[in-house]
Amino acid sequence: MIKHIVMWKLKDFAEGADRATNARKMKEQLDACANIVPGMFAFEVALAQPGLEATYDVVLYAEFADEEALKAYGEHPTHHALKPYFGAIREARQCMDYTI
């Protein structure tokens, strides 16, 4: 099994909207990617919450059966279509995949 964790720090203002608005839109778009490929076992998107420690604005946690399932997710048209918008609103991105 592969765990896939991605975190995004968003710009204060981008694409005509503030950080909070873009974070909510990003979450909605990511949520639409849940279960788009076979072998995806978990898919959770969360936003930084007031009062809780967070250095990034949006986090994705997903589990995949194997590298082929993770690759299929990365190449899926629904996922691929998000990249231009995410690139325009992000200040930084961190990703880590690991096998358990």
pLDDT (tens digit, 9 = 90+) per residue, 20-62? 999 999 999 999 999 999 999 999 999 999 999 999 999 999 9
* pLDDT for 63: 98
Residues near 41 by beta carbon (within 8 Å), at least 6 away in sequence? 1, 63, 64, 65
* pLDDT for 22: 98
Strands 90-99 and 2-10: antiparallel
Q: Give residue 3's pLDDT band: very low, low, confident or very high (50, 70, 90).
A: very high
Mean pLDDT over 68-93 rounds to: 97
* pLDDT for 39: 98
CB atoms within 10 A of CB 58: 25
CATH topology of domain 2-99: Alpha-Beta Plaits (3.30.70)
- Token pair 């998107």 is found at 45
Looking at the chain, list the stretches that DSSP marks H as alpha helix, in order from N- to C-terminal side. 19-31, 67-75, 77-80, 83-89
CB atoms within 10 A of CB 94: 12
* pLDDT for 37: 97
Q: What is the pTM of this model?
A: 0.94
CB atoms within 10 A of CB 96: 9
